[in-house]
A and B are shown apart, each in its own frame.
Chain A
Amino acid sequence: MYFASLYGRGDSLQLKVDCPKYSSEIADDIKYIDASAVLNKEKNEVSFFIVNRSENDNCNIDFDLKDFNVDSIIDQQIINNEDMYVANTKDNPNAIKPKKTSIVKLIDNQLSTDIPKLSYLVIRLKLN
């Protein structure tokens, strides 16, 4: 809840997500990458919330942000864990926590990232 509640205030953006898909027992055409984005006009920021559902594969994502005029990356944080079944308990309350990361790159105005398998990533961008 932490990422979305803190950084998801503003206007939701329509996203076009192109990526490989899979089928499960409960649905078809499931995109491995699940995403949303929120534009905060007052602060002139946009936040992306990205989940990589894949158990096995990292995903190299290229962003096409046609008219956003991105100035810089304010923040990038990720939640994941080597152990799929570990939890935050009273004896280990910090087993899973958001961590600062540097996997998101802004080079020549192009945003890209390599998101690890089974990860939840927030990217916050400052706009010009």
Chain B
Amino acid sequence: MKANITAVKDFTISTIDKRIYGSFLEHLGRAIYEGIYEPDHPEADENGFRKDVMKLITDLNMPTVRYPGGNYISSFNWEDSIGPIEERPTRLDLAWKTRETNEFGLNEFITWCRKTNIEPMYAINLGTRGIDAARNILEYCNHPSGSYWSDLRIKHGYKEPHDIKMWCLGNEMDGEWQVGHKTATEYGRLVHEVAKSMRKFDSSLELIIAGSSNEAMPTYPDWEREILEHSYDSIDYIALHKYWTNYEKNTNSYLSSSVPLQEYISTVEGTINYVKAKKRSKKQINISFDEWNPWYHTREMQTQNYLDKNLSDWPKAPPLYEDMYNILDTLLVGTVLNTFINNSHIVKIGCMAQLVNVIPAISTVKQGISWPQSI
């Protein structure tokens, strides 16, 4: 087979936003506990962070990580994850049917980001919560001092503000599976009001709204149009998600997945520009592709045997979705990254889902080794 590739030095598409090479950590399975955090591991540092895992992550020159979810956030109360560890409540996570001790929380994540030179992207709950919780966490994280929430952060041992700039407002709100799932009207109205309130605190924040969970959703792409029509003036990015499967072991089909991906991105770009024109706006909303990856090696079995069952024990950090990836998955990921590079004028953020143990870039053994997956 023969091919020709032609390039001209001045014919550029766009400066690439390095954040397209980001990733994602959710309180799901062993992503956090035994993943990045394992205090009694031989390689744990003074914060309990696994140094071997941090090394593998810094080897990737990882620019940003979205946290703490994902479906997890839609019934999560951020206040549970701050303060003296012995006072943090253990909660039941409705998304992944696990028991969350909150031993690793907001401040621990920020400390971990500083050590790994990663810019945090924090996702807030718009499933069970709204404006009040959003403005309080913003004050806790970003206000220097002299107010209730900022003084509480200082009391917790963090004198300097966290200065989190990127905020994801809700997760996959179009999905029936989401706690607090909403219609486009309900979510569009809420996210606009949340964004407005957050901007009253700091107009330079980068706010990301939840677009379609995938392009097979019955509400796609009307979801995008409507939520943008409600919130265009107050937000900066619309998030898209996509997971790919190869259950049939059909290599030709699987490896052609980046062609429909291009269509997905182009359609949402068109929708953004349609609403931009309708609003007579000069602002360009861009795309944050903040969950993407192959996900099929363990998905069906674990969903049937775990999530769909009425379990009573609610385990802490069970081994869930610990996919091990093959060369076909690596090639698919290569074509996805090519697509992001070739669409760098509109795709500004990308988060491979996920980073450790759960459909991961890096795998670990409890008390043992860590290693990179081929993706």
A86→B371 CA distance, assembly (Å): 15
Residues of B within 8 A of A38 (CB): 16, 341
Known: A53-B331, A90-B363. A19 touches B16 (CB 8 A): no
Chain B minimum-CB-distance residue to A65:
B7
Residues of A within 8 A of B10 (CB): 67
Residues of A within 8 A of B1 (CB): 19-20, 32, 54, 57-60
Q: Is B312 an interface residue (CB 8 A)?
A: no
Contact with A along B1-29 (1 / 0, CB 8 A): 11111111111111110100101000000
User: Which of these, B16, B61, B258, B324, contacts A89 with CB under 8 Å?
Assistant: B324
Contact with A along B300-327 (1 / 0, CB 8 A): 0000000000000000000000001111
Q: Is B84 an interface residue (CB 8 A)?
A: no
Total interface residues in chain B, CB < 8 Å = 61
A57→B352 CA distance, assembly (Å): 30
Q: Is A11 an interface residue (CB 8 A)?
A: yes
User: Which of these, B16, B60, B326, B365, contacts A84 with CB under 8 Å?
Assistant: B326
**Do residues A9 and B338 form an inter-chain contact, with CB atoms below 8 A?**
no
- What does DSSP make chain B's interface, helix, strand, loop or mixed? mixed
A32→B62 CA distance, assembly (Å): 29
A88→B18 CA distance, assembly (Å): 27
Chain A interface residue count: which class?
A: 35 or more
Q: Is A74 an interface residue (CB 8 A)?
A: no
**Do residues B3 and A11 form an inter-chain contact, with CB atoms below 8 A?**
no
**Do residues A9 and B18 form an inter-chain contact, with CB atoms below 8 A?**
yes
Residues of A within 8 A of B5 (CB): 15-18, 33, 35, 48, 50, 61-64
Residues of B within 8 A of A15 (CB): 5-7, 342
**B residues at A contact (CB < 8 Å):** 1-16, 18, 21, 23, 59-63, 250-253, 255-260, 324-328, 330-331, 333-335, 337-339, 341-342, 344, 352, 361, 363, 365, 368-369, 371-375
* A-B CB contact pairs (8 Å), 20 listed: A1-B23, A5-B61, A8-B21, A11-B13, A14-B12, A16-B5, A26-B256, A27-B260, A34-B334, A39-B9, A49-B341, A54-B1, A64-B6, A66-B9, A84-B251, A84-B328, A87-B324, A88-B363, A88-B374, A120-B330
